[in-house]
């Protein structure tokens, strides 16, 4: 093992200790908890034994959109100081503290020629959060979720007992924790596989697509040839035109010029911070129309083999810190569903329905999912997933989303818990049929119900 | 839990047969509502409130006995409701108008009005606030009145209880700032209810359903104080600046 980063220090991303009003990334439905920083497993055990009637929850970087990482009146554990990163080049695995962000993991490991197995659309998630939400990325159709690449993890359960769990010796605890939204215990560290790389660039093929049918056809027939694939869809244009970007890690010999001098360089920058916006006026049909038009126009009609940085390809939004503020005080939500291939037409119907109430989205993302993993609450299932960002203040949004819920349910689909902020408990139970199995495994790890969250209360998990 | 679109799952009504509270429950988005507790005196009015809500398709309606003037019982009532589950919205909606002339003639009557409207509200308000604070979320909606904005010769006993309640609620809201719990103060003008039956209607008179709509919007927007109807804010601001020699001669 090579210790890459063992600062153990509080990061600038640490939460302020004490009573805090917290929300998810969508900045809706706040609740207050008492933030407590923990630095060791013993600190966590002490927090569990001190737990009051409102319980405990770990919070990472707060990128889930709804109420998954908050719990009113509870102790909120901040593990940002548990951020040690170790690399085992012999096995191609990393051994990382749960409070470390994927950003810090990439900064530590990319220069050594290793990449994380899965990255969501932001690097600003912790390893613990990535496991809890069982995050997916542009390579889901090939590589599955983050949890599928975890070999072992250390979990402190509701009695304060420490377990090292893996999928062979403790499959129930392991798969209840992967996608378990932090409700089975506190993950303190995890060992996961890495992707060997020889450059920090992605070789990207970009194509503009003329309609939803067009992009879906191209994804069905062509995605297998690429490790990474995602489509952006114009939510304003009735055709559902969009931009399909697909790629794979470039090898060092594909690089030229300055990039070839330092093929594994990885120094992403934050270029701007969004200011707090006091009104809901910035995101409106006019700006959304302009944004969608510009996003479509800026993409080349067709380009192959373009070399992009990791940040450009995977995390374009991380360039603007706090971009969630542009939605103003009412906040926003992300509606993300997964449906089988047989219900692919729901993608178009959802976009039409949202356009109908003026809920226009800037970042509409369409992706094909590959096989599901054994996690009872893991979201991805084979077929399509669509994610749409919409302002929470739009009139009539609740009714339209409830109708879409019914369609998703009828199609055998489901919503992503890391994004959800408004589905009903009945929708949850009907679309995650293995909920009671998960609850059994959760209860075995946490018989007293110490771990809870606003999401868990809202959905009766 | 309140969701991202401001839809509550649980509501507690203190003053379970209040027409404004009932209209408010009916005006709330109901897609996620699963528990409505009507706390009030056992009465035909409370039974009728249950029937109205149930008939309108509201599920999970419960009743609990509650007597505003009997402050010794408040702790048990409030703890019972909150121990059974989080409460997202509490409507403090009880109160009596009383008769000013009778109150002047019989101070015991005035004391009774003050006990219900002010003392009872302080007692239950603090207990609710403590539970909201503990759960880290939730809104206490207090039905105050424009009568508390400036005492009038014609109903200063009632007005003074609402002035006290309003001041209490403002301070309570500030005390709860940063705790996840909030207070919304609602100052209705003349509302057509049982309480005002037989009285001559004032200008800008509205119905309970109008107040309900204003409350629901204010809840969604996270407001701290609203008038019902909204423009009364300006009327009251004007009235408050009228010099007393002139004010006491006004026919209000």
Select the residue from A20, A27, A32 to test the B interface by mutation, using most B Cβ atoms within 10 A: A32
Give me the architecture of the A201-422 domain, per CATH.
2-Layer Sandwich (3.30)
Select the residue from A70, A72, A388, A454 to test the B interface by mutation, using most B Cβ atoms within 10 A: A72
User: Taking a C-beta distance cutoff of 8 angstroms, is the pair B169, B125 a contact?
Assistant: yes
- Cβ separation of B3 and A29 shorter than 8 Å? yes
Distance from the Cα of B187 to chain A's closest Cα (Å) equals 24
- C-beta neighbour count of B221 within 10 angstroms: 13
Select the residue from B2, B87, B136, B179 to test the A interface by mutation, using most A Cβ atoms within 10 A: B136
Output the domain CATH number for residue B92.
3.40.50.720
Distance from the Cα of A438 to chain B's closest Cα (Å) equals 22
User: Taking a C-beta distance cutoff of 8 angstroms, is the pair A119, A102 a contact?
Assistant: yes
Question: What is the token pair recorded at B129?
Answer: 């606030």
Residue A263 to residue A259: CA distance in whole angstroms: 6
User: Which chain B residues have a beta carbon less than 8 Å from that of A457?
Assistant: 1, 86
User: Taking a C-beta distance cutoff of 8 angstroms, is the pair A244, A218 a contact?
Assistant: yes
User: Which chain A residues have a beta carbon less than 8 Å from that of B34?
Assistant: 425
Question: Which residue ranges make up each domain of chain A?
Answer: 2-196+442-459, 201-422
Q: Which of B223, B141, B136 is nearest to B176 (CA)?
A: B136
- Cβ separation of A29 and B179 shorter than 8 Å? no
Residue B242, SS3?
Answer: coil
**B29 → chain A, closest CA residue:** A398
Q: Which of B94, B118, B158, B227 is catalytic?
A: B158
User: Taking a C-beta distance cutoff of 8 angstroms, is the pair B52, B16 a contact?
Assistant: no
Residue A95 to residue A151: CA distance in whole angstroms: 10
Q: Number of CB pairs < 8 Å for A and B?
A: 81
Quote the number of domains for chain B: 1
**What's the CA angle centered on A36, arms A33 and A41, to 5 degrees?**
130
- Cβ separation of A422 and B4 shorter than 8 Å? yes
**What's the CA angle centered on A117, arms A111 and A123, to 5 degrees?**
70
User: Which chain A residues have a beta carbon less than 8 Å from that of B2?
Assistant: 29
The sheet carrying B225-228 orders its strands as B61-65, B35-40, B10-14, B89-92, B138-143, B181-188, B225-228
B158 given a catalytic annotation:
yes
Question: Residue B1: inside a domain, yes or no?
Answer: no
pLDDT for residue B16 is more than 60: yes
User: Which chain B residues have a beta carbon less than 8 Å from that of A421?
Assistant: 3-4
Least confident of A90-94, A245-249, B12-16, B220-224: B220-224
A194 conformational bin, left if phi > 0, alpha if psi -120 to 50, beta if neither: beta
Give me the residue label for tokens 């089988």.
Answer: A340
Question: What is the token pair recorded at A236?
Answer: 């304003």
User: Which chain A residues have a beta carbon less than 8 Å from that of B10?
Assistant: none
Q: Which residues of A touch B (CB under 8 A)?
A: 19, 21, 26, 28-33, 54, 66-67, 71-74, 329-331, 333, 392, 397-398, 402, 421-422, 424-425, 454, 457-458
Question: Residue B75: inside a domain, yes or no?
Answer: yes
Select the residue from B2, B5, B179 to test the A interface by mutation, using most A Cβ atoms within 10 A: B5
Q: What is the maximum span of chain B, computed from C-alpha positions, in angstroms?
A: 54
- Cβ separation of B137 and A30 shorter than 8 Å? yes
DSSP string over B101-123:
HHHHH-HHHHHHHHIIIIIIHHH
User: Which chain A residues have a beta carbon less than 8 Å from that of B180?
Assistant: 21, 30-33, 72-73
pLDDT for residue A362: 85
Distance from the Cα of A56 to chain B's closest Cα (Å) equals 13
Distance from the Cα of A423 to chain B's closest Cα (Å) equals 8
- Cβ separation of A424 and B180 shorter than 8 Å? no
In chain B, the DSSP E strands lie at 10-14, 35-40, 61-65, 89-92, 138-143, 181-188, 225-228
Distance from the Cα of A365 to chain B's closest Cα (Å) equals 21
**B177 → chain A, closest CA residue:** A21
Let me know if the fold of A2-196+442-459 is the same as that of A201-422: no
Cβ-count burial A408-430 (b if 16+ within 10 Å, e if not): bbebebbbbbbbbbbbbbebbeb
Q: Give the tens place of pLDDT for each residue, B121-158.
A: 999 999 999 999 999 999 999 999 999 999 889 899 99
Q: Give the tens place of pLDDT for each residue, B21-74.
A: 999 999 999 889 999 999 999 999 999 999 999 999 999 999 999 999 999 999
User: Which chain A residues have a beta carbon less than 8 Å from that of B136?
Assistant: 31-33, 54, 71-74
Of A19, A26, A29, the CB nearest to B1: A29
- C-beta neighbour count of A29 within 10 angstroms: 27
**ipTM value for the complex:** 0.91
Q: Which residues of B touch A (CB under 8 A)?
A: 1-7, 9, 29, 31-32, 34, 86, 133-137, 178-181, 221-222
Give me the residue label for tokens 């020889």.
Answer: A198
Name residues whose C-beta falls within 8 Å of residue B194's C-beta, 6 or more positions apart in sequence. B19, B45
Segment (H or E) for B19: helix B19-27
User: Which chain B residues have a beta carbon less than 8 Å from that of A32?
Assistant: 136-137, 178-181
User: Which chain A residues have a beta carbon less than 8 Å from that of B6?
Assistant: 29
Distance from the Cα of A55 to chain B's closest Cα (Å) equals 11
Residue A389 to residue A331: CA distance in whole angstroms: 11
Q: Which of B215, B31, B33 is nearest to B139 (CA)?
A: B215
User: Which chain A residues have a beta carbon less than 8 Å from that of B181?
Assistant: 32
Select the residue from B2, B3, B33, B89 to test the A interface by mutation, using most A Cβ atoms within 10 A: B3
Q: What is the pLDDT along chain A (461 residues), one digit of tens a residue?
A: 666 665 555 566 677 888 999 999 999 999 999 999 999 999 999 999 999 999 999 999 999 999 999 999 999 999 999 999 999 999 999 999 999 999 999 999 999 999 999 999 999 999 999 999 999 999 999 999 999 999 999 999 999 999 999 999 999 999 999 999 999 999 999 999 999 999 999 999 999 999 999 999 999 999 999 999 999 999 999 999 999 999 999 999 999 988 899 999 999 988 788 877 766 667 888 888 888 999 999 999 999 999 999 999 999 888 888 888 888 888 999 999 999 999 999 999 999 999 999 888 888 999 999 999 999 999 999 999 999 999 998 889 999 999 999 999 999 999 999 999 999 999 999 999 999 999 999 999 999 999 999 999 999 99
**What's the CA angle centered on B219, arms A337 and B30, to 5 degrees?**
55
Residues in chain B: 252
Q: Which domain holds residue B221?
A: 10-247
Distance from the Cα of A424 to chain B's closest Cα (Å) equals 6
Cβ-count burial A67-87 (b if 16+ within 10 Å, e if not): bbbbbbbbbbbbbbbbbbbbb
**What's the CA angle centered on A6, arms A249 and A129, to 5 degrees?**
60
Question: Residue B177: inside a domain, yes or no?
Answer: yes
Domain A2-196+442-459 falls under CATH 3.30.465.10: yes
A343 conformational bin, left if phi > 0, alpha if psi -120 to 50, beta if neither: alpha
Question: Residue B4: inside a domain, yes or no?
Answer: no
CB-count burial class (<10 Å; 0-12, 13-18, 19+) for A14: middle
Residue B54, SS3?
Answer: helix
What rounded mean pLDDT belongs to chain B? 95
- Cβ separation of A333 and B4 shorter than 8 Å? yes
**A27 → chain B, closest CA residue:** B4
User: Taking a C-beta distance cutoff of 8 angstroms, is the pair A390, A333 a contact?
Assistant: yes
Of A26, A31, A66, the CB nearest to B180: A31
pLDDT for residue B197 is more than 70: yes
Residue A249 to residue A263: CA distance in whole angstroms: 12
Name residues whose C-beta falls within 8 Å of residue B228's C-beta, 6 or more positions apart in sequence. B186, B187, B188, B189, B191, B206, B210, B211, B214, B215
Question: Residue B5: inside a domain, yes or no?
Answer: no
Residue A109 to residue B242: CA distance in whole angstroms: 73
Question: Residue B3: inside a domain, yes or no?
Answer: no
Of A21, A398, A424, the CB nearest to B178: A21
């Amino acid at each position: 093992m090579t210790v890459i980063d063992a600062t153990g220090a509080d990061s600038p991303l640490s939460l302020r200790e004490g009573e805090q009003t917290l929300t998810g990334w969508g900045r809706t439905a706040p609740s207050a908890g008492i933030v407590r920083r923990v630095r060791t497993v013993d600190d966590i055990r002490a927090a569990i034994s001190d737990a009051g009637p409102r319980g405990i929850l770990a919070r990472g970087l707060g990128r889930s959109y709804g109420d998954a990482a908050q719990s009113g009146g509870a102790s909120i554990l901040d593990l940002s100081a548990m951020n040690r990163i170790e690399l085992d080049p012999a096995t191609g695995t990393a051994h990382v503290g749960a409070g470390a962000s994927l950003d810090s993991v990439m900064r530590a490991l990319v220069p050594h020629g290793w990449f994380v197995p899965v990255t969501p659309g932001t690097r600003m998630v912790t390893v613990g959060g990535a496991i809890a939400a069982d995050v997916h990325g542009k390579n889901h159709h090939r590589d599955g979720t983050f949890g599928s690449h975890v070999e072992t993890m250390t979990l402190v359960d509701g009695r304060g007992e420490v377990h090292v769990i893996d999928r062979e010796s403790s499959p129930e605890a392991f798969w209840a924790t992967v996608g378990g939204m932090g409700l089975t215990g506190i993950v303190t560290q995890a060992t996961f596989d890495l992707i060997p790389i020889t450059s920090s660039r992605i070789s990207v093929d970009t194509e503009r697509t003329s309609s939803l049918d067009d992009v879906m056809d191209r994804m069905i027939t062509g995605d297998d040839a690429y490790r990474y694939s995602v489509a952006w869809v114009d939510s304003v244009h009735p055709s559902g035109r969009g931009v399909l970007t697909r790629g794979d890690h470039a090898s060092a010999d594909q690089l030229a010029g300055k990039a070839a001098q330092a093929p594994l360089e990885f120094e992403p920058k934050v270029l701007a911070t969004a200011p707090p916006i006091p009104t809901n006026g910035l995101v409106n049909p006019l700006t959304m129309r302009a944004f969608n038009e510009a996003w479509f126009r800026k993409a080349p009609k067709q380009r192959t083999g373009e070399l992009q940085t990791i940040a450009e390809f995977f995390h374009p939004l991380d360039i603007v810190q706090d971009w969630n503020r542009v939605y103003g005080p009412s906040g926003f939500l992300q509606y993300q569903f997964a449906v089988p291939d047989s219900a692919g037409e729901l993608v178009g119907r959802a976009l039409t329905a949202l356009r109908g109430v003026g809920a226009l989205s800037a970042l509409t993302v369409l992706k094909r999912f590959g096989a599901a993993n054994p996690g009872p609450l893991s979201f991805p299932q084979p077929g399509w997933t669509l994610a749409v960002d919409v302002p929470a203040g739009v009139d009539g949004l609740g009714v339209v989303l409830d109708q879409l819920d019914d369609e998703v349910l009828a199609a055998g689909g489901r919503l992503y818990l890391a994004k959800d902020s408004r589905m009903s408990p009945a929708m949850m139970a009907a679309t995650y049929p293995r909920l009671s199995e998960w609850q059994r495994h959760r209860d075995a790890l946490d018989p007293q119900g110490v771990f809870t969250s606003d999401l868990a209360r809202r959905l009766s998990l | 839990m309140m969701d991202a679109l401001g839809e509550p799952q649980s509501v507690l009504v203190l003053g379970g047969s209040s027409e404004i509270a009932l209209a408010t429950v009916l005006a709330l988005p109901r897609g996620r509502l699963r528990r409505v507790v009507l706390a009030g005196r056992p009465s035909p009015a409370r039974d009728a409130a249950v029937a109205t809500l149930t008939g309108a398709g509201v599920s999970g309606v419960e009743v609990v006995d509650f007597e505003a003037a009997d402050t010794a019982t408040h702790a048990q009532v409030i703890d019972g409701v909150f121990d059974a589950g989080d409460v997202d919205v509490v409507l403090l909606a009880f109160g009596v108008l009383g008769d000013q002339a009778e109150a002047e003639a019989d101070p015991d009557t005035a004391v009774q009005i003050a006990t219900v409207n002010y003392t009872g509200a302080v007692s239950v308000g603090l207990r609710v606030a403590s539970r909201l604070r503990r759960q880290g979320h939730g809104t206490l909606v207090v039905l105050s009145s424009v009568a508390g904005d400036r005492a009038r010769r014609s109903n200063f006993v009632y007005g003074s209880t609402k002035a006290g309640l309003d001041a209490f609620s403002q301070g309570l809201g500030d005390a709860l700032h940063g705790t996840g719990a909030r207070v919304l103060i609602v100052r209705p003008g003349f509302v057509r209810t049982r309480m005002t039956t037989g009285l001559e209607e004032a200008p800008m008179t509205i119905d309970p359903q109008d107040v309900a709509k204003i409350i629901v919007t204010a809840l969604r927007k996270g407001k701290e104080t609203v008038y019902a109807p909204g423009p009364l804010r300006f009327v009251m601001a004007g009235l408050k600046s009228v010099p007393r020699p002139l004010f006491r001669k006004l026919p209000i």
